[in-house]
Structure formats: C-alpha cells, structure tokens
Structure 1
Amino acid sequence: MTTFNRSTSRRLKNLTQIPSVWEGDRRPLSSSLEEYDNSEEKGECILWVDGSQGIVRGMDIVSPDSGPEAIVRTLMRAMESPNSPGKPGRPQKIVVKDREIQFYLRGVLQDLDIAIDYVPNLPFIDELFRGFAEIVESQVPELPPKYAKLLNDKAFAIWNSVPWEFLEEQQILAIEINKWDIGTLYASVMGMLGIEYGILLYRSQESLKRFRDVVLRDGESQGLLEDAFLKQDCLFVTFEKTDASDDPEDDFYYDLAELPSSEIEPTFGNIHPLEGLRSVLYEEEAIAVFVALEALFRFFRDHRSQLNEYDFPTLNHRYRISLPEAVQKQKSVSVTVSTMPELADELEDMAINATDDSEDDLNLSDLPGQLTSLRDDLIPEDSFLSLGVITWDMLEYLRNGVKHYQPGKVKPVGDGLPVILIQTSRPKAKAVIENIQEAGGLKAICFNPGADLVDGTDYDLGLLQTQNSELFLFGEFLDSDPVHSEARKKWNQRCQKTKGFCGLIIARGLTGASRGNPQLKDMMALFEVQTLAPEDLGLGTLRLVEEMQPEQSS
C-alpha cells in the first residue's frame, strides 16, 4: 500500500484538528448526471463533506479506472485547500459507507490521528446526489425526445447532400410553411467559405438583411458583431466536430468537409432579439425545422444540377411532407421551396459595395485625373483582375460551358490561350457582358503606356476595344511592379505563339470561396479576340495630368 512520505505526514498533522465528522464517498455518475456535469472527465464523483458544518470541502470527477489513491488526493485538498467557506484543517473523524475505502484510509491515514468508521448511510452526501438528480430532471432537453432522432437523421441527410458546394450564403431559398406560427423561412446555406457549416432559417428578410449589413459595415468591431448576432431572428442547424478541442487554434488544422460523417455533430437552436441565443428547440420549433430540412433536402435532390449553374435560377417546387407520428391531428403539410435571385443579387451588391478597394488589383479611383480619350465605365472598380493562360483542354470546356461565347480563329499553339480574367459580382458581370454585346462584341485587347507628369510615374494601361471602336480602360498597372512586369512578359510571349490571339473571361463570385480562383461554373462569358500593340492604336503615351490626353507623335 502506498503511504504518505514523512514530510507530507508532518505537514498534514500540523493542520488544526477540527472537532467535526466528515463524510466521504466515491459514486458512479448516472447518464443524467453526466449531462449535468460540464467536465470533460466523466465517470465517478468523489465527495468530501463536513457534515457538522454542512459544507462541501472537496469534489472531483475521476475516471472509473482511477485507483483508490484518487479519493486520498481529494481528501488532501479538502484538508489543505478546501472549497469556500471551509478553512484548512483535518477532521476528528471520517465516516464512509464502503468497507474497502474504510480499510484503505485506515492504512494511509494511520499517522494523522483521524478515526475512520463505517456507516450504512451518508445523509448529507445522499441529499446532495438527490439534489443533483432533481436539477438534471428539470433541465429542458436540447431537442424534444420524440423528435430528436428525426431531426438528427435529417441534419445528416443535409450534410451528405453538401449544399455549400453549389450554393453561396447570399443565394437564399424561401420555404413557405404557413404552420406553427411560421409563414416563410428564408434559408441561407453556410459552408462555401470552408469556415462554418450549417443552415440559417430566418423568419424574415429584414432580419437577414440587417445582420448582413452590420457584418459588412462593421466586420472589425467585435462588440457590434456580437450585438448584431444576438438580434437575428432565426432557427438554425450548424455542424461541428464531435470531439472539438478546447483550444480554438486547433480548428485551423481541419476543414469539417474533409471529415467523415461519424466525426460530425449537428447542433440546433434559436436566436431572437429578446431571447438571444438558445440551444434548445421546443416542440413546434422542432417540427418546423424538421419540415424545413426535409423540404430543402428534396429541393437539393431535385434541382442540384440547376443550382450548380453560374446563374442562380428561378425555381419553385411544392412538396407534400409527411409529419412524424408524434404530431397529432395532421398527417402531412404542403411546403413550397423557391429560389430568390433578386434578393441574392441585392445581398451580393451589398457585399461588393462594402469591399475595401485597397484589396483589389484594380483601383481606378487612384488615378490622379480623369480619362477623356478613353471610357472607364465598363469594368466595375472593385473587380478582381488577372493576366494568365488557360490550357487548350480547358478552352474547349469553356466554349461549351459558358452562356456567352464569342468565337475566334484561334489555333492551339503553345501551352494555352493567354487570357485576361475579370471577376466581379454576378449582376455586374451580366452588365459588363450586355454592354460589350451592345457595342457589337469585343474587337481587341491592348496595353498602352501611360505617364503621370506630376510625379513621373509610368503606367501600363489595359484597354478593351469594342467592335464600334470605343476604348475602355480595364486596368492600370505600375511599370515598376515586378509581378506585373513578369505577367506582361509571359503575356507577350504567349500572344506571339498564338499569332496574336487571346481571350477575355468574365466571371462571377467576387465575395465567395472562389474569389481570385473562379471555377468553371463561375465563368459567364468568353471572348476570343486579337491583341493589339501600342503602335497599332496610335495613341502614344497617355499623359496623366488634370486630364488624360494622348501624346501626339511628331
């Protein structure tokens, strides 16, 4: 048997001996008590109670596999560092209801002048455990028991349908229920950014817009964000890792979407301005969420290919959904699910307008003058712009996949077709494409020198020429930028190989996960054209002064 070393025995014996009787016990936690306890260590509870004073001096939750030494460790803390309002001291007598604990303590504490007796009942500890059980029984479960399995199964069906692969957060789906005091729920799918996964079911468009507006305008203010979060009016289901670490930094080491379903756990709840966050669904809320998730699951199943297109389509589908047997008086309910393209465009424009221009490669507002020989109203100022190349195989995919295609006489020579990619929001991309088509189509892509006569800065100006001979500025780049210089060098080399043929790609998705890396479904238009050299344009160097004027050649 392990005993105290001599210095520890002397230290404990120097404690004031209190003329009181302590109760001690080690009991398994029932499943209900495990729910009540927030500790990660589940199993058995060790309690040391001063029955004379009616206070708990020490308490620990330990693994069932831990040895008898655990009860002594808790007793030592109860003597030397007791819970308030207890003061350090050793008892005159200890009573336990387990013979093995009694014999073990007699051997370990034999030098401390403490009597250890057996009693059949421990009234104070018994009362504490009865109180624990009553507290647990009075707790409202997170989900009504008769709907818990149905909701969890339906949440996993949503998880396995991976709606965040084809829906962005602003692509809202309306779920018209008209039951249980709910008219229409507005579903926003989280997950395309790979950060948080779930479905938010807003009770009104106003709540959705208000929260999104605050996030976009005041995203750096934690206080305002927390206040806005609690003012939402929605039901929700979110997905988390089952064994999530207490260390938030661990969350950066995995993406939930990469984990198997066995490691995913759905969480349900409600947010309301007057209630705040509540991780509990009451019966009518649970039924409404079940119906909404079932309707969404069927809608995803029936319209996945259409929702996966770059245009958010106008869709409407009515479903007859059977209700759980636990729901009395009604066997089914009719639910209509609809897409909301106009609302999606409105929410996307809110995000675009809130974008910090300084993050973009193209920022026309920094020009020290205005263009009078060119137009600068074709390409949105907040667009993402890049010079690159697409392989010949990808070019074939694009030709067949984009909605707007202007063919050219391109021959596959070299490593691919040099392209200018312009990425903006869906509605603004549509406007760019329509304006080019109204001008008769795109004729050429050009780069022309520009200079600021005030500070001596040299620019490389990207220009688009339409079939009606108008010139539009799509980008201005510093000649001194090594990244752009290298990109322009490769652009020229590739254009030489393709005999001057190049392309313009207009893509959507400026605020989603595909920002800066649009997928095929994000690409809305492809224009195959020729490139022109500065001497072909005959503009000379465009001077940036009060106004931008072409420098006439002598």
Structure 2
Amino acid sequence: MTSFNRSTSRRLKKVPQIPSVWEGDRRPLSNTQSNTQSPQSEEDKGECILWVDGSQGIVRGMDVVAQDTGPEAIVRTLMRAMENPHSPARPARPQRIVVRDREIQFYLRGVLQDLDIAIDYAPELPLIDELFRGFADIIDSQVPDLPPQYAQQLHEKAYAIWQAAPWDFLEEQQVISIEVNKWDIDTLYASIMGMLGMEYGILLYRSQDSLKRFRAAVLKDDESTQDLEEAFLKQDCLFLTFDRLEEEEEEEFEDIADLPLAEINPTFGNIHPLEGLRSVLYDEEALVVYVALESLFRFVRDHRRQLNTDEFPTLSRRYRIALPENEDTKSLSVSVATMPELAAELEEMAGDEDEESTSGEPMFRSLRDDLIPEDSFLSLGVVSWEMLDYLRKGVTYQPVGEIIKPVGDGLPVILIQTSRPKAKTVIESIEKAEGLNAICFNPGADPFGAESYDLGLLQTHNGELFLFGEFEDDDPTHVEARQKWNQRCKDTQGYCGLIIAKGLTGASRGNPQLRDMMALFEARSLSPQDLGIGTLQLMPQLQFE
C-alpha cells in the first residue's frame, strides 16, 4: 500500500486539528440513487469524490475522476480538503472521518495512520446523500440543448455548412438576408464568422438594428469590458458556432479548420436582450435555424463562384425547403439575397474607426501566449529589499536601468514557477526578445461567454506582448492581490519585476525558495491607458478591437 512520505506526514500533522466529523465518498456521476451502492454501468463517464465537513455543513473538497482511477484519488482530494479547502473553509484536520465503503475505510486507515484521525464506517452519509440527490434533480430537470426530434437534422445541416466553409470567401459584414415569414420571424440576417481563422459560425440576427448596434459597439476602442458585455447581451440573434469536440489546451493556437470533421462540434443557441445567452434551442427556434441553414447552404453552393470575388454582388434566389416529417406543413418557400448596401454601410463604420485609431498611438497587432508554460504556478507577490539584493547577485539578472529606491515593503513581482528545462526556455525567450520592458494588467472580454477578465501581459523591448495569466474579474483572491500590486507599484514609482523559478514538481511547489529562483527581470508597471490597446476580446483566440 502506498503511504505518505515522512515529510508529508509531518506537514499534515502541522495542520490544526478541529473537533469535527467529515464525510467522504466516491460515486458515479450518473448514479441518481445516491443512498445505495448500486453497481456502475458502462455508460457512466466518471466519478465524483466529495469530502464534506459534517459539523459545519460545508464541502471542503470535490474532484471528478475517471472510473478506473485508483484509490489514491480519494486521498489526494482529502489532502486538498485539509490544506487548501474550498472557501469559506480554512485549513484543518478532522478528528474523525466517516465513509460508507469498507474498502475505502481500510485503505484510509492504512494511509492516514500517522495523522491521529479515526476512520469509521456508516451505511449512510446524510450530507453527501443529500448533495447527490440535488445533483440528480438538476440532471433530471435539464432541458436538452436541441429538441430531440430535430437534433439529428440540425447537426447534419451544421456539418454541411462546415464543409461548405462560406467563411473562405465571405466576411462578417457581407450579410445575407433569409426571408422566412413563419414562426413570427420575417427575415433573418446571416453574418458569417471565420475568415480570420479564430471563431467559426453563423449569426442569424432578427433585425438589422441589432446587427448594426453590436458591430458599432465592438468597433469602439474606448468601450469598457462592462459596456462590451452589455452590448453582446443586447444582441437579438440565433447562432451556430463550431468548436473542437474535445477542449484541449494547446501550447500554440490551432486553427480548427485544419481538424478532421469528426473533431468538430457544432453548438446552437440564442441571444436576446431580455434572456441573455443560452445554448439551448426550443422547438420553433430549432425549425427556424434548420430552414435558415438549409437555405443558406443552398445559396452558397449555387453562387459560390459569384460570391468568391472582390466585390460583394447583388444576388437573390428562392428555395422551397422541406420541413422535418413530423411537421404539419410539408415545405416552406424561402427567399435568400445578398445585401451589398448594408455591407458597404458596415464597412464604412469600420473605416471610420480605423481612421480614429491611426490618429493616435500605433496599435499592437498580435498577442502571443506561447511564452509561459501552461502548467506553471503563478502568483502576484513582493520580494523584500534584502532578498532582492541576494537575487541580483545569484541569478540571471536584468536591471531596469535606473536606481529603484527601497520604498515600501519590497519590490512587487510576478512569480512564474515551472520545471527547470521550461524555466530555461522562458529566460532564453525573454533575452532573445531584447529583455523585459513592462508588466501590465489589461481588461479582456469573452463576448460569447459574456465574461470579463483581467489579463496579465508581459511587454518585451522588441515590442511583443505575451500573455502570462487570465484572471476572472470577480475572483476575490485576485482582486485583493491586484489591489496590493497597484499599491506596491505606486510605492516604488512604477517599478516591478518578473521572477522565473524552477521546482514545480518538487517539495517547494507553490512556495519556491531562494535556491529555486533562476532569473529576475526588473521592469516598469504600465496601466491599460499607458499600453493603449483597449479591451481585448477572446473569440476564442485573443484579438484586438
């Protein structure tokens, strides 16, 4: 049986022990009978591990693991529940643990024997049983993303659009009207996304005004993150977007257009000012989208040569679209047409914004995210002036070129901890980019997720920008860290630093010591106004407004 290292046991014994009883269990996610030990079915996709403080009635730790994951997983979740519990719990070690599985009980007795924790058995776990009943109720009450009777046909039409790839020759402002005149829809205005190779999809606006308002909002460089989110949620449209079937964090951006069809996943949804964003279509919406996609597909197929020109031509065509078999109406006549005048108006809006932007400071053209390894540990902190003197002498060091007065509690720093080989690569990359010039936090937004972010950026002396972190605006831990960062940078008159450290997989993970520090780059702290790039959009790859 695997047991803790002695050093780990000593560390865990230092965690304060409290007079509480914790419940722990591991159950299939699809098992709605949470109060019985029913066998797992082949359809179960994973298992949920829960540790709950029965005395305080709070969840301290939770993980989802694969079925075949060994018993070590429940111990890993327990360790996090003790040392790094979910808020609002504080680090603590229980006096007693109760489980409902004999094998888990005996396993934990062997592993935790040095931690002075009693491991007991109980046939029922009231708190965890109640939690899983709640999970089951939520799952049972979920509305399917698409009406079951139309799901297959909608996916077929989506894949037909994907293979037709209208974004290869149509830009977003080259709108195509689809006159439906049914289901309370007069005309839809289709905007094609994907020519930039970032976000692929079809936006089906219910009105021209909605399309114009949103485009105008996106083009404004001075639009705040909150304003951009509000503008996004005020759209009135149905949508189809394409993503990778299995979300994977790639070290470099990969255009999903290069992936095989089997790895492409279509997503349908609706945006409305009074509803917001939902990735669900109801019956009538599903029929509208079905008809719109089929007519758009035929129009692109029939006029591909005319559309694939420098000028957006005036074209129109009428189609009779057969409806799904379970509909009373057998078919529907639909008119499809290009809208050159609207396209010219939208282009003129973009041209006006371009003229305004060129009158000021030059804009950055790209933002790279290939500098900092994905699995790195990141923190915002401070280095005391005494330690700073040691660092300057003992590691790869880039001075800022001016004398930094030791004011305040130290130099504010961004610390990146990774493995030794990756740390060396990061250092070499920064040196190759002529060194670090500045560190900045800049607003970012995900229009399709209606979320806002605080993006951590590194600016090198050759003018490149590198993303080192994405932080949610409403994360209280980050908000507090940013407040301290801003105050410390104010104390140092805008000076800060970047520390690259090794030891990510060692005992000093998350708390690198002086011996782990490999490089110190001193730099200036820039405000978003100093950087002058406006709000960055994640669609899904970062791009500038």
TM range (shorter): 0.5 to 0.7
Contact 1:94 1:117 in 2 (8 A): yes
3-state DSSP class of the match of 1:120?
coil
CA distances 1:143-176 after superposition (whole Å, capped 9, x unpaired)? 2233222222211100101112232323221111
| Closer/same/farther in 2, CA of residues 16 and 331 from structure 1, 3 Å limit | same
Partner of 2:255: 255
Q: State the one-letter code of the partner of 2:299.
A: F
Give aligned pairs, total.
347
The structure-2 alpha-carbon separation of the partners of 1:8 and 1:152, relative to structure 1 and needing over 3 Å to count, comes to same
Provide the C-alpha distance between the structure 2 equivalents of 1:83 and 1:225, rounded to a whole number of angstroms. 31
1:351, 1:57 → 2: CA distance? 50
Code of the aligned partner of 2:74: I
Name the residue aligned to 2:305: 305
Amino acid of the structure 1 residue aligned with 2:238: L
Alignment of 1:222-237 (within 5 A): 222-223=224-225, 224-237=227-240
3-state secondary structure, aligned to 1:356: helix
Q: Is contact 1:97–1:118 with CA below 8 Å preserved after alignment?
A: yes
Aligned ranges 1:189-228 → 2 under 5 Å: 189-216=192-219, 218-219=220-221, 221-223=223-225, 224-228=227-231
How big is the shift at 1:333?
1.7
Unaligned ranges ≥5, structure 1: 34-41, 361-554
Counterpart Cα distance in 1 of 2:191 and 2:31: 36
The residue number in structure 1 matching 2:27 is 27
Question: How much has 1:297 moved relative to structure 2?
Answer: 0.9
Q: What's the CA shift string for 1:21-42, capped at 9, x where partnerless?
A: 4322112222999xxxxxxxx7
Instruction: Give distance in 1, aligned partners of 2:273 and 2:135.
Output: 32
Structure 1 residues 82 and 203 mapped into 2: Cα distance closer, same or farther (>3 Å)?
A: closer
Q: Compute the displacement of 1:262 (Å).
A: 2.4
How far apart in 2 are the matches of 1:32 and 1:236? 33
Kindly indicate whether the alpha-carbon contact (under 8 Å) linking 2:32 and 2:133 is maintained by their aligned counterparts in 1: no
Asked if residue 61 in structure 1 is aligned to residue 64 in structure 2, the reply is yes
CA contact (8 A) 2:217 2:223 kept: no
Structure with higher Rg: it is 1
Residue aligning to 1:274: 274
Query: Which of 158, 170, 173 pairs up with 2:173?
Result: 170
Closer/same/farther in 2, CA of residues 64 and 105 from structure 1, 3 Å limit: same
Partner of 2:325: 325
Matched residue of 2:274: which SS? Answer: coil
Which residue matches 2:117? 114
The reply to whether residue 292 of structure 1 matches residue 292 of structure 2 is: yes
Q: Secondary structure at the match of 1:253?
A: coil
- SS in structure 2 opposite 1:347? helix
The one-letter amino acid paired with 1:104 is Y
CA contact (8 A) 1:54 1:124 kept: yes
Could you tell me how far apart the structure 1 residues matched to 2:357 and 2:81 are? 61
**Offset at residue 66 of structure 1 (A):** 3.0
Deviation at 1:209, TM superposition (A): 2.5
Name which of 94, 97, 103 aligns with 2:97. 94
Residues 35-434 of structure 1 correspond to what in structure 2 (within 5 A)?
Answer: 43-86=46-89, 88-216=91-219, 218-219=220-221, 221-223=223-225, 224-245=227-248, 253-327=253-327, 329-356=328-355
The gaps in structure 2 that reach 5 residues or longer are 34-44, 360-545
Counterpart secondary structure, 1:195: coil
Instruction: Classify the secondary structure of the residue corresponding to 1:184.
Output: strand
RMSD: 3.1
Cα deviation for residue 255 of structure 1 reads 2.6
Report deviation, 1:291.
0.8
Whole-angstrom CA distance in 1 between matches of 2:287 and 2:16: 61
- Structure 1 pair 31–175 and aligned structure 2 pair: CA distance change class (3 A): farther
Give 1:171's aligned amino acid: Q
CA distance in 1, matches of 2:106, 2:142: 39
Q: In the aligned structure 2, how far is the partner of 1:8 from the partner of 1:334?
A: 71
8 Å CA contact 1:295, 1:335 repeated in 2 = yes
Residue 12 of structure 1: how far off its partner (Å): 4.4
Residue identity (%): 71
Check the 8 A contact 1:219/1:225 in 2, yes or no.
Answer: no
Q: TM-score, normalised by structure 2?
A: 0.57
Question: Could you list the per-position Cα deviations for residues 304-333 of structure 1 after superposition, in whole angstroms to 9, with x for gaps in the alignment?
Answer: 223234443333222221222344x32222
User: Cα–Cα, structure 1 residues 3 and 261, in superposed 2: closer, same or farther, change >3 Å?
Assistant: same
Deviation string, structure 1 residues 468-498 (Cα, Å, up to 9, x no partner): xxxxxxxxxxxxxxxxxxxxxxxxxxxxxxx
Q: Which amino acid aligns with 2:4?
A: F
Q: Secondary structure at the match of 2:48?
A: strand
**Structure 1 residue 135, shift from structure 2 partner:** 1.8
Give SS of 1:170's match.
Answer: coil
- Tell me the TM-score normalised to structure 1 length: 0.56
Instruction: Read off the aligned partner of 1:77 and give its amino acid letter.
Output: R
Q: Is the CA contact (8 Å cut-off) linking 1:48 and 1:78 kept in structure 2?
A: yes
Give the structure 2 partner of residue 495 of structure 1.
none
Distance 2:91 2:352 in 1: 64
